[in-house]
Amino acid sequence: MTEIPGYIYWLTRTTFIFWAICLLVVALLPDYRPIAFGLIAGSAVSYVNTKYLARKVRLITEAAANGEKKKRGLGFSQRAAVSVAAVILAVKFPQWFEMYALAGSLVFAPFALIVIGFVLSRHTERNSANERGEKNA
Protein backbone atom coordinates (compact mmCIF):
# COMPACT_ATOMS: atom_id res chain seq x y z
CA MET A 1 0.00 0.00 0.00
CA THR A 2 2.99 2.32 -0.09
CA GLU A 3 2.32 3.20 -3.72
CA ILE A 4 -1.03 4.93 -3.05
CA PRO A 5 0.53 8.32 -2.12
CA GLY A 6 2.51 8.23 -5.37
CA TYR A 7 -0.62 7.54 -7.38
CA ILE A 8 -2.49 10.33 -5.61
CA TYR A 9 0.42 12.72 -6.23
CA TRP A 10 0.34 12.04 -9.97
CA LEU A 11 -3.45 12.10 -10.05
CA THR A 12 -3.37 15.55 -8.45
CA ARG A 13 -0.90 16.82 -11.03
CA THR A 14 -2.88 15.30 -13.89
CA THR A 15 -6.14 16.75 -12.61
CA PHE A 16 -4.69 20.24 -12.19
CA ILE A 17 -3.26 20.13 -15.72
CA PHE A 18 -6.68 19.03 -17.03
CA TRP A 19 -8.33 21.91 -15.15
CA ALA A 20 -5.80 24.37 -16.58
CA ILE A 21 -6.59 23.19 -20.11
CA CYS A 22 -10.32 23.53 -19.41
CA LEU A 23 -9.79 27.06 -18.07
CA LEU A 24 -7.89 27.95 -21.23
CA VAL A 25 -10.90 26.76 -23.21
CA VAL A 26 -13.13 28.94 -21.02
CA ALA A 27 -10.92 31.96 -21.67
CA LEU A 28 -10.31 31.44 -25.37
CA LEU A 29 -13.50 29.77 -26.62
CA PRO A 30 -16.55 31.34 -24.99
CA ASP A 31 -18.97 29.14 -26.96
CA TYR A 32 -17.59 26.06 -25.18
CA ARG A 33 -17.74 27.45 -21.63
CA PRO A 34 -20.58 25.19 -20.42
CA ILE A 35 -18.73 22.12 -21.69
CA ALA A 36 -15.48 23.19 -20.02
CA PHE A 37 -17.25 24.02 -16.75
CA GLY A 38 -19.02 20.66 -16.90
CA LEU A 39 -15.69 18.90 -17.39
CA ILE A 40 -14.16 20.82 -14.49
CA ALA A 41 -17.06 20.08 -12.15
CA GLY A 42 -17.24 16.39 -13.05
CA SER A 43 -13.51 15.84 -12.78
CA ALA A 44 -13.47 17.71 -9.45
CA VAL A 45 -16.12 15.38 -8.07
CA SER A 46 -14.23 12.41 -9.45
CA TYR A 47 -10.99 13.63 -7.89
CA VAL A 48 -12.59 14.22 -4.47
CA ASN A 49 -14.27 10.80 -4.55
CA THR A 50 -10.99 9.11 -5.44
CA LYS A 51 -9.11 10.92 -2.66
CA TYR A 52 -11.83 9.89 -0.21
CA LEU A 53 -11.63 6.28 -1.38
CA ALA A 54 -7.82 6.29 -1.03
CA ARG A 55 -8.19 7.59 2.51
CA LYS A 56 -10.69 4.86 3.34
CA VAL A 57 -8.34 2.20 1.94
CA ARG A 58 -5.49 3.57 4.05
CA LEU A 59 -7.62 3.59 7.21
CA ILE A 60 -8.87 0.04 6.62
CA THR A 61 -5.34 -1.16 5.93
CA GLU A 62 -4.03 0.44 9.12
CA ALA A 63 -6.93 -1.01 11.13
CA ALA A 64 -6.26 -4.49 9.74
CA ALA A 65 -2.55 -4.18 10.50
CA ASN A 66 -3.31 -3.16 14.08
CA GLY A 67 -5.87 -5.93 14.54
CA GLU A 68 -8.77 -3.53 15.02
CA LYS A 69 -12.30 -4.24 13.88
CA LYS A 70 -13.55 -2.75 10.66
CA LYS A 71 -15.19 0.62 11.21
CA ARG A 72 -18.44 1.31 9.47
CA GLY A 73 -18.93 4.37 7.33
CA LEU A 74 -21.06 5.68 4.54
CA GLY A 75 -18.62 4.60 1.84
CA PHE A 76 -20.25 4.26 -1.55
CA SER A 77 -23.39 6.11 -0.53
CA GLN A 78 -21.48 9.27 0.24
CA ARG A 79 -19.52 9.16 -3.01
CA ALA A 80 -22.67 8.46 -5.02
CA ALA A 81 -24.51 11.33 -3.31
CA VAL A 82 -21.77 13.79 -4.25
CA SER A 83 -21.93 12.61 -7.87
CA VAL A 84 -25.72 12.90 -7.96
CA ALA A 85 -25.49 16.39 -6.44
CA ALA A 86 -23.14 17.43 -9.25
CA VAL A 87 -25.56 16.12 -11.88
CA ILE A 88 -28.44 17.96 -10.16
CA LEU A 89 -26.31 21.11 -10.30
CA ALA A 90 -25.93 20.64 -14.06
CA VAL A 91 -29.67 20.10 -14.47
CA LYS A 92 -30.47 23.19 -12.37
CA PHE A 93 -27.99 25.46 -14.18
CA PRO A 94 -27.73 24.28 -17.81
CA GLN A 95 -26.42 27.69 -18.90
CA TRP A 96 -23.28 27.09 -16.81
CA PHE A 97 -22.73 23.32 -16.91
CA GLU A 98 -23.16 20.92 -19.81
CA MET A 99 -24.76 17.85 -18.26
CA TYR A 100 -23.22 15.32 -20.66
CA ALA A 101 -19.73 16.73 -20.14
CA LEU A 102 -20.19 16.65 -16.38
CA ALA A 103 -21.59 13.12 -16.37
CA GLY A 104 -18.85 11.89 -18.70
CA SER A 105 -16.07 13.40 -16.63
CA LEU A 106 -17.26 11.72 -13.42
CA VAL A 107 -15.03 8.82 -14.45
CA PHE A 108 -11.99 11.03 -15.07
CA ALA A 109 -9.98 9.96 -12.01
CA PRO A 110 -10.41 6.18 -12.41
CA PHE A 111 -9.36 6.33 -16.05
CA ALA A 112 -6.48 8.67 -15.21
CA LEU A 113 -5.35 6.22 -12.51
CA ILE A 114 -5.31 3.38 -15.04
CA VAL A 115 -2.98 5.39 -17.28
CA ILE A 116 -0.88 6.58 -14.33
CA GLY A 117 -0.57 3.03 -13.01
CA PHE A 118 0.51 1.76 -16.41
CA VAL A 119 3.11 4.51 -16.83
CA LEU A 120 4.48 4.08 -13.31
CA SER A 121 4.69 0.30 -13.68
CA ARG A 122 6.59 0.66 -16.96
CA HIS A 123 8.90 3.16 -15.27
CA THR A 124 9.52 0.73 -12.41
CA GLU A 125 10.24 -2.12 -14.83
CA ARG A 126 12.82 -0.05 -16.68
CA ASN A 127 14.55 1.03 -13.48
CA SER A 128 14.58 -2.48 -12.00
CA ALA A 129 16.25 -3.85 -15.15
CA ASN A 130 19.29 -1.70 -14.40
CA GLU A 131 19.76 -3.07 -10.88
CA ARG A 132 22.58 -5.44 -10.06
CA GLY A 133 22.06 -8.71 -8.28
CA GLU A 134 19.71 -11.58 -8.59
CA LYS A 135 16.41 -11.31 -10.33
CA ASN A 136 13.42 -12.71 -8.52
CA ALA A 137 11.45 -14.61 -11.08
| Structural domain includes residue 133 | no
Specify the 3-state DSSP secondary structure of 20.
helix
In a domain, residue 120? The reply is yes
Q: What is the pLDDT at residue 66?
A: 82
Task: Write down the mean pLDDT value for the chain.
Answer: 85
Is 112 contained in some domain?
A: yes
* 135 domain-assigned: no
Between CA 47 and CA 55 the distance in angstroms is: 12
Higher pLDDT, 90 or 3: 90
Give residue-wise pLDDT tens across range 73-114.
667 888 888 889 999 998 999 899 999 999 999 999 999 999
Least confident of 2-11, 35-44, 60-69, 85-94: 60-69
For residue 48, is it within any domain? yes
**One-letter amino acid for residue 106 of the chain:** L
**15: containing domain:** 4-124
Q: Phi/psi of residue 20, each to 5°? A: -65, -40
**pTM given for the model:** 0.80
For residues 69 and 109, the model is more confident at 109
Is residue 50 situated within a structural domain? yes
Number of domains in the chain: 1
